[in-house]
Amino acid sequence: MVRPHQLQARLDEVAEHGWAVQVGEVHDDVACLAAPVRSGDAALVGAVVLTGPRQRPPLDHLDAARRCAAALEPLLA
């Protein structure tokens, strides 16, 4: 992604959904899913990231990634 408007559109999408996914953006055969980890004041402090082969994107594990991120938040507050 090299165009500013593409980046902004992606950031808006991530903010709306509360998670991010990318398929083949860095490596053609890799897919990634990220769920944010936030501090007590809602600041972003990290992410739980799942990576797998493009043929099996980790979207089936979105709920698990979000639960893991939520479990980490009190530990980082």
pLDDT along the chain (77 residues), means of 10: 80 88 89 91 91 85 94 88
Name the domain count of the chain.
1
- Model pTM above 0.85: no
Sheet-wide strand order for 44-53? 20-23, 30-38, 44-53
Would residue 7 count as lying in a domain? no
For residue 55 the two structure tokens come to: 């043929």
pLDDT at 14: 86
Would residue 1 count as lying in a domain? no
CB-based burial label for 74 (10 Å; 0-12, 13-18, 19+): exposed
What range does the domain containing 68 cover?
18-76
For residue 3 the two structure tokens come to: 């165009």
pLDDT at 1: 59
Would residue 30 count as lying in a domain? yes
Would residue 4 count as lying in a domain? no
Q: Are 49 and 36 in contact (CB under 8 A)?
A: no
- Cα torsion 28, 45, 18, 61: sign: positive
